[in-house]
Amino acid sequence: MKILSAEFQKTATRRDEWPAEPLPELAFVGRSNVGKSSMLNALTRRRGLARVSNTPGRTQALQFFKVEVSLAKDAPPVALSFCDLPGYGYAKVPKAEKDRWAAMIEEYLSGRDALRAVVLIVDARHEPAESDREALAFLRAQGRTVVVAATKVDKLGKSHRFGALRAVEKGLDLPAGSAVPFSAVEGTGTEALWKKALELTR
């Protein structure tokens, strides 16, 4: 597979601002500072496509990106949309702002017809937080297909990665082997996540 293009489309806070182009869409959600932007950059092989910040809570709207890939030399390109959602679980964001984000995200997750699946990103170094479990339950209640990706595995010794992944799966009541280990630094999991993304969006 080859990335042909990846570009920022638009920022949206309301339904009437969502991209109208009917591309199959994949959304990315996770706790603040879990590495969503780094994951998007690694998947698209564009270092600066999504802005990476050390300040949790920086993403305050829906960020849409258009990606085109080639699956084979003579095959027509495949286009899809990525949506980066604001992070959850950041205590320093005012309650009124949290409530606004929650309403915006709920409207998107319940009403976006183009959305084919959601990547729920958790930190492989820690057992899932209550907010991670709540996010998974909410996504399932909306009838959304969810792929769990455990990121930052590069910060774990290789002998500890399997156990950490199993702890994530047990913490979220997932079948063994269903979570995707991921590292934007090493490139671990990019092919596995792309495979799932293409299966779910085609």
Write out the DSSP string of 7-34.
EEEEEESSGGGS--S---EEEEEEBTTS
Mean pLDDT of the region 124-137: 94
- Residue 184, judged by CB atoms within 10 A of its CB (0-12, 13-18, 19+), counts as buried
Residue 56, pLDDT > 50, answer: no
Q: How far apart are the first and last CA of the chain?
A: 15
| C-alpha torsion angle, residues 39, 44, 45, 48 (rounded to 10) | -70
CB 67: neighbour CB atoms within 10 A? 24
Sorted by where each starts, the structural domains of the chain and their CATH numbers stand as 2-201 (3.40.50.300)
Q: In which band, very low, low, confident or very high, does the pLDDT at 52 lie, cut at 50, 70 and 90?
A: low
Q: In which band, very low, low, confident or very high, does the pLDDT at 57 lie, cut at 50, 70 and 90?
A: very low
Name the DSSP class of 52: P
Residue pLDDT, tens place only, 163-183: 999 999 999 999 999 999 999
Q: Record the pTM.
A: 0.92
Rg (Cα) of the chain, in Å, rounded? 16
Q: What is the C-alpha to C-alpha distance for residues 72 and 124, in angstroms, rounded to an integer?
A: 33
Q: CB of 52 within 8 A of CB of 37? A: yes
Which of 81, 127, 130, 86 lies closest to 104 in space, CA to CA? 86
Residue pLDDT, tens place only, 102-113: 889 999 999 999
Q: What is the C-alpha to C-alpha distance for residues 62 and 18, in angstroms, rounded to an integer?
A: 9
Q: In which band, very low, low, confident or very high, does the pLDDT at 122 lie, cut at 50, 70 and 90?
A: very high
